[in-house]
Amino acid sequence: MKIFCVGRNYSEHAKELGNEIPDEPVIFIKPSTALYQPEKPFTYPSFTSELHYEAEIVLRICKDGYQINQTDAESYFDAYTIGIDFTARDIQKKLKEKGLPWEKAKAWDNSAIVGNWFSFTDDTKPLPITFSLKKNEELVQLGNTKEMIFSFKEVIENISKYFTINKGDLIFTGTPAGVGSCKSGDQLKGLIKENIALDLQVL
């Protein structure tokens, strides 16, 4: 199982971090060990002092594919949820300054959180999805997939140009503006429309 992630897929988020708006999807990968197992506590990592949340819509891949056209892309995912792509922002800044890869900041164990899954239907796949994140009951992020720079179809076409996607793979499709830090004791709740799909306490 692979976890693909799309960076800078919302223009306001790219701007808030001082990044250029990309002209093609920015793709990075987390290993399977990055997927958080909910039966275990989520502990603030010891190697960072600037842990940032990034709420995103996550797609679940339902069949294998390679070099997929946009016209066929919808048949390759069957469910969605809200997830959190955790980032060690202090480590990321140091790596970026040196022109080095981001894996230490993005791909560490338990850095990918996913909520409860919702099945797509033929009617819901084209529709935009509204999602949000609350920290200690305060709204900190609000997004809508219609604001993505690159759509689900475009993302799948681009990823599969370089990588085979397999059933069970996940795609984190990008985060809107409002990313920020969290600390031990914080409660994070991810919502799709008004429904709580993710509830995580940082220990």
pLDDT in tens, 109-159: 999 999 999 999 777 777 899 999 999 999 999 999 999 999 999 999 999
- Structure confidence by residue, pLDDT tens digits, 74-99: 999 999 999 999 999 999 999 999 99
Handedness of CA 57, 58, 63, 69 (dihedral sign): positive
pLDDT for residue 48 is more than 80: yes
Q: Can you tell me the distance from the alpha carbon of 100 to that of 135, in angstroms, rounded to the nearest whole number?
A: 31
Length in residues, the chain: 203
pLDDT for residue 17 is more than 80: no
Domains within the chain, CATH numbers bracketed: 3-128+148-182 (3.90.850.10)
Q: What is the mean pLDDT of the chain?
A: 94
Q: Can you tell me the distance from the alpha carbon of 203 to that of 74, in angstroms, rounded to the nearest whole number?
A: 38
Q: Are 76 and 59 in contact (CB under 8 A)?
A: no
**The pairing of beta strand 26-30 with beta strand 187-192:** unpaired
Q: Specify the residue for token string 């603030």.
A: 44
Q: Are 123 and 161 in contact (CB under 8 A)?
A: no
**The pairing of beta strand 195-201 with beta strand 187-192:** antiparallel
Q: Are 75 and 64 in contact (CB under 8 A)?
A: no
